[in-house]
Amino acid sequence: MSNQIVVVLDFGGQYKELIARRVRECGVCSVILPGNLPLEELRARSPIGVILTGGPDSVYRDGAPRCDPALFELGVPVLGICYGLQLMTYTLGGEVTPCAVSEYGRTEMTVKKSCALFRGLAEQQIGLMSHTDQVSRLPEGFISAASTKNCPNAAIACQERKLYGVQFHPEVENTPNGTEMIRNFLYRVCGAAGDYSMEDYEQRMIAQIREQVGEEHVLLGLSGGVDSSVCAALLAKALPGRVHAIFVDHGLMRKNEGDEVEAAFSGRELDFIRVNAEERFLNKLRGVTEPERKRKLIGEEFVRVFEEESRRLGTIRFLAQGTIYPDVIESGAWNSAAIKSHHNVGGLPKDMSFTGLVEPLRDLFKDEVRALGRQLGLSRRFVDRQPFPGPGLAVRVIGEVTKEKLDILREADAIFREEMRRSRCRADQYFAVLTDTRSVGVMGDFRTYGWTVALRAVKTTDFMTCEYARLSHSLLGRTASRIVNEVRGVSRVVYDVTGKPPATIEWE
Ligand code: XMP
C-alpha cells in the first residue's frame, strides 16, 4: 500500500477516469480528487505528480473552479490538461482568451522534441482538440512546446519548475501518442518507479472491502456476466465465507451457461445460491410478444426471486454490485434514451433495507475488470465473454417465448459460436436470433416448414454504435448448413447486415 501516487484533480471534465486509467496503464497508481482539494490534504498524500483535468468552464467566469495557487509552489510536477492548462496559465499570471477559431477534433500539431513530454516522439503529432479558449500570453518562465495552425500554445512548459500544460487531450485514443506523452510526464518528469500493478489494485480493494464491511456479511446479485462474476471472486477472497451470491437462473441463458457459472464458483469460499426459476419465468412470459413488456416482466420477476432468496438468508446489511466505470456514465444515457429498458440482472430491488453498497470495480474499465478476473483465477474463456443482455434469450426469441423455441435457439447459437471460434473471422459480439418467421424448405424428398434463424455479428468498441461484421461466406455457409441439418425445426438461416444506427445490436 505504499505505492507512489499521482493525484488527478477534477475540474469537471468528462475524461477524468480515462486520465486516471492511462496513469494506471503506465504502471503508476492514481486517485481522483476534487479540484478544490485543500493543499494540506494533497500534501498529506505525498503525490509524485498532479494532473489537472479539463472542464467545461472558462477560467474568467465568476465561480469557475479554481485550485490553491500554492499548488504550483510545492515542487511537485503538474500537468494541466485543457481547462487544467488554462487554469495553470491564469493562476500563474498568463492570459487566456477566446480563440478566434475554436478547434474541435483531431488536429495536426508541431511539438518541440526538447520538451520532456514529447521526448522520443516525431515533431508532427495529432492531438484531439476541444476548446473555445486558449492561452494567449504565457506565464513568466514558460515556453510554448507545441502549436497548431490556430493555436500557438497547444502545449506549454516551464521545465525548471516541472510545470506542463497541454490544450489537447492526451488521454483519448484520438491522440495516437497521448499515452506516450503521459508516460513521459510520469517517468521523465515525476520520476515514477512504475510500482503499480493489478495485484496492487486487488490488495487495495481487499483492504478497503474489509474495512467497509467489518465482521458482517454481504449479498451479491450474480448474473453470470463478467462484472458481477469478477466482483464475486474478489469478495470471496476478501471475506471468505461471508459472501452470499444469488444466481437466478431464469432459463433464458445460452447453452450450458448456468452450469458454467456454477462451475466457475465451485471451490471458492462463497455461498453460491443457484435459484432454478425457469418455470416461473416462462409462465410469466406465456403469450407475451411485445419486447418492452417482456423486458419489464423479466425485470420484475427477477426482483421478486431475489427478494425471496435474500429474505430467506435473514438480515444482511451490505449489498455488493459489479458496477464498473462505464455503467456510471452510461446508465444515465441508457436510462434516459427510452429505446430499450436495459435491465441488468444484477439490478437491485429499490425498497430493500441495505445500508451499505459495496462496489469494488467502480473505477475500472471493462478490460481492467477482465484482467482482474484472470488474476483472480477465473478462466479466460469465462472473463472474455461477450456482453449478454439481462433478459437473456427472451429478447433473441422474437415474439412469444416458449421452452421449445428457446431450445432451438440455444442449439443454433451454440453452433454459430463454435464456428466463429474455429474461424479466423473476428467480431465483438455475435449470436443467433430466432425470428418469428417460418418458411418452406425441402429436406430429402420432404417439404419442411420451419423457423428462420438470423445470425448477427457486429464490430464495435462502445456498443453504442456498430457495423455488421464482414464474415466470410464460407463461415456463413458452413454455419447455415450445420444449423439447418443439426437443429430440428429450422429451415432457413439469414445474416443481418444492418448497422447501429439505424438498427440496434439486439433484435428486441
Ligand atoms: P442494443 O441492442 O441496445 O445493445 O444495441 C447494446 C449492447 O447492450 C447489450 N444489451 C443489454 N445489456 N441488459 C444488459 O446488461 C440489457 O437489458 C441489454 N440489452 C442489450 C447488447 O447485448 C449490446 O451489447
DSSP-derived 3-state class of residue 267: coil
- CB environment 109-138: b (16+ within 10 A), e (fewer): bebeeebbbbeeeeeebbbbbbbebbbeeb
**Pairing outcome for strands 95-111 and 143-147:** antiparallel
Per-residue confidence (pLDDT) for residue 464, from 0 to 100? 79
Q: Cβ < 6 Å from ligand 1: which residues? A: 340, 342-344, 387, 389-391, 429, 463, 500, 504-506
Per-residue confidence (pLDDT) for residue 334, from 0 to 100? 34
Res. 343: pLDDT tops 60? no
Q: How far is the CA of 463 from the centre of ligand 1 (A)?
A: 8
Atom of ligand 1 nearest to the CA of 341: 17
Q: How far is the CA of 321 from the centre of ligand 1 (A)?
A: 18
Q: How far is the CA of 359 from the centre of ligand 1 (A)?
A: 21
Per-residue pLDDT, averaged over 422-440, amounts to: 96
Q: Which of 413, 505, 507, 508 to mutate for ligand 1's pocket (most ligand atoms within 8 Å of CB)?
A: 505
Q: Is 171 a catalytic site residue?
A: yes
Measured distance CA(54)–CA(40) in Å, rounded:
23
Per-residue pLDDT, averaged over 95-106, amounts to: 89
Region of residue 241 (left: phi > 0; alpha: psi -120 to 50; beta: else): left
pLDDT digits (tens, 9 = 90+) for 238-283: 999 999 999 999 999 999 999 999 999 988 999 999 999 999 999 9
Nearest alpha carbon, ligand 1 atom 3: 504
Per-chain mean pLDDT for the chain: 92
Per-residue pLDDT, averaged over 211-230, amounts to: 94
Cβ atoms of residues 244 and 273 within 8 Å: yes
Partner residues linked to 144 by β-bridges: 156
Res. 332: pLDDT tops 50? no
Per-residue confidence (pLDDT) for residue 376, from 0 to 100? 96
Per-residue confidence (pLDDT) for residue 354, from 0 to 100? 79
Per-residue confidence (pLDDT) for residue 417, from 0 to 100? 96
Domains and CATH numbers, the chain: 5-189 (3.40.50.880), 198-383 (3.40.50.620), 396-495 (3.30.300.10)
Q: Is 343 a catalytic site residue?
A: no
Q: What is the DSSP letter of 185?
A: I
pLDDT digits (tens, 9 = 90+) for 444-473: 888 999 999 999 999 987 787 899 999 999
Per-residue pLDDT, averaged over 219-236, amounts to: 94
**Pairing outcome for strands 490-495 and 155-158:** unpaired
Q: Which of 157, 158, 148 is CA-nearest to residue 124?
A: 148
Annotated catalytic residue, options 26, 29, 67, 82: 82
Per-residue pLDDT, averaged over 414-438, amounts to: 97
Partner residues linked to 127 by β-bridges: 107
pLDDT band at 365 (very low <50, low <70, confident <90, very high): confident
Q: Is 169 a catalytic site residue?
A: yes
3-state SS, one letter per residue, for 3-42:
CCEEEEEECCCCCHHHHHHHHHHCCCEEEEEECCCCHHHH
pTM of the entire predicted model? 0.77
Atom of ligand 1 nearest to the CA of 431: 22
Atom of ligand 1 nearest to the CA of 387: 24
pLDDT band at 337 (very low <50, low <70, confident <90, very high): very low
pLDDT band at 346 (very low <50, low <70, confident <90, very high): very low
Other beta carbons less than 10 A from residue 268's beta carbon:
19
Partner residues linked to 432 by β-bridges: 455
Nearest alpha carbon, ligand 1 atom 7: 463
pLDDT band at 340 (very low <50, low <70, confident <90, very high): very low
Q: How far is the CA of 501 from the centre of ligand 1 (A)?
A: 14
